[in-house]
Copies of this chain bind each other. A is one copy, B any other.
């Protein structure tokens, strides 16, 4: 089984290609991460590093750095603090998400809450969130702090909304997209907007980068939700993380909306039982595929990718192509 994905460009880009442009700055971000996590209490450092170094792509700090460079070839040291803060906000939400979802695995590794328990995960999440704000203060830019504190509230509110629609197959498309927006796209948007501001963009330019980042984040997350099924299959893994936790993601919702009563019942049955056999995963995959769950979701991801691309025509920068490449990467990555 494979998905037919049309490229919006003829090239594909690995994350490494994109990182090249700000290679030294990303090393700087890693140094700030290390410095910021030093603690008299080793448990804090251990938990924080476990999740921060667990194979994350650092895509959010990358966005801030590239957004800054779009408007200024020289990236200021303050921007590295911003980029690290964005990564810390993301990591704090992951720690809390794993507690909320009772997840056992993240990126193939045992989750912090499985190893160290819920309490430590909640508290180290809080710690990282506080550290994020400490780093933001170092940017000396209240607008950046304003944007990122508002974004953090939106993220939490979006998670509450998601909680309220847990296991709701009948959720409408708008609410689903709003949840994806709050969970992922808002932080992408804020990373781009604040990065642009740190690179001395004017308010209008920063707003364009916000819209770009939001659309990019939507394309990224929807593709992620598709890959959670399809790349699990490609890698020979038995189960995707989302299915094993019975998360009702966008492809599942579209499939359910398109499905016959028989398939609707099969799908709700598969998502209500806890048997994580590969047969159950294959059945779910088949029903989602058959009812165009992946194709429909991918079509929406493409629409967001095109929205992101559209906004870039108002940006005149020697590195606009990097922002374009990020879109292609988000949409066409295989893992």
Which residues of A does B touch, CB under 8 Å?
39-41, 43-44, 92-93, 96, 99-100, 118-120, 122-127, 129-131, 133-134, 136-137, 140, 142, 145-146, 149-150, 152-153, 155-157, 159-161, 163-164
Contacts and interface: CB of A to CB of B under 8 A. Distances in A.
Given A122-B100, A160-B41, A160-B123, A146 B153 contact: no
Given A122-B99, A123-B96, A130 B159 contact: no
A63 to B, nearest CB: 20
Nearest to A153: B130
A152 B146 CA distance: 17
Given A123-B163, A126-B156, 10 more contacts: A39-B157, A120-B160, A124-B156, A125-B126, A126-B155, A129-B129, A130-B149, A130-B153, A130-B156, A134-B153
Contacts of A136: 145, 149
Contacts of A140: 142
A84 to B, nearest CB: 14
Nearest to A152: B130
Contacts of A160: 41, 43-44, 120, 123-124, 127
Contacts of A124: 156, 160
A163 B44 contact: no
A130 B122 CA distance: 15
A39 to B, nearest CB: 6
